[in-house]
Amino acid sequence: MAMLRLDMSMSLDGYVAGPNPSMEHPLGEGGEQLHQWAFAVAAWRERHGLSGGDRNPDSEVVDESVRDLGATIMGRSMFSGGHGSWASDPNANGWWGDDPPFHHPVFVLTHHARAPLPMQGGTTFTFVTDGPLAALEQARAAAGDKDVAIGGGANLVQQYLAAGLLDELQIHHVPVLLGGGTPLFANLDPGKVRFERGRVAESPTGVVHVKYRVLK
């Protein structure tokens, strides 16, 4: 059975974005440190149309993660970049460029109805106005027998987690502190969200990639 999955880089103090996001720091202050491991690997660069990059355990983790993915769900601010001056323009084309790195259907939760937006390289953004469950249904249909990923942000993750719909998380534990920002785990009842730890992969870059199955 295809899974609903999440891949998320998290600081040692539990944040997935730093404090005070702005045009200058779209991932919050210090937030870019969470993603440096991914920027460097071949598998990530390839999906973003870049050549080169490291082939190491980090790269294998990215390969493994994207291999069986057939669709992605994301929140409105992850589509638009959230903090750009054009973020308030409901017709802006997001911050993912002409050839977004997904290469599969992406479902964007929003309050603004809008026609689907086909991009280069196999990505089509479809805008869903009737909530997370509807987005999941559409994403599953589009993904066929492949998995669906939640792209973020944290609030959307929490909604799927609280609803018991998430099957597996992979947290990329990055050994930095952000001191504030967006916590991955908030607004959850800890008695109702339980995990079983799965595969652990460590990397020379310092990141520890850990899978957690959500117990139902």
Give residues in contact with its own copies (CB under 8 A): 12-14, 30, 171, 173, 175-179, 183-186, 188-191, 193-197, 200, 202, 206-208, 210, 212
Choose between 133 and 208: whose C-beta lies nearer to its own copies: 208
Choose between 108 and 171: whose C-beta lies nearer to its own copies: 171
Closest approach of Cβ 66 to its own copies, in Å? 23
Closest approach of Cβ 211 to its own copies, in Å? 10
Closest approach of Cβ 77 to its own copies, in Å? 22
Q: Which residues contact 178 (CB under 8 A, 6 or more apart)?
A: 11, 13, 15, 17, 18, 19, 28, 29, 30, 31, 33, 34
DSSP 125-169: EEEE-S-HHHHHHHHHHHHTTSEEEEEE-HHHHHHHHHTT---EE
Choose between 145 and 189: whose C-beta lies nearer to its own copies: 189
Closest approach of Cβ 81 to its own copies, in Å? 23
**What 3-state DSSP class applies to 87?**
helix
Choose between 30 and 152: whose C-beta lies nearer to its own copies: 30
The amino acid at residue 107 is F
Q: Exposed/middle/buried for 169, CB within 10 Å: 0-12, 13-18, 19+? A: buried
Choose between 144 and 191: whose C-beta lies nearer to its own copies: 191
Closest approach of Cβ 103 to its own copies, in Å? 30
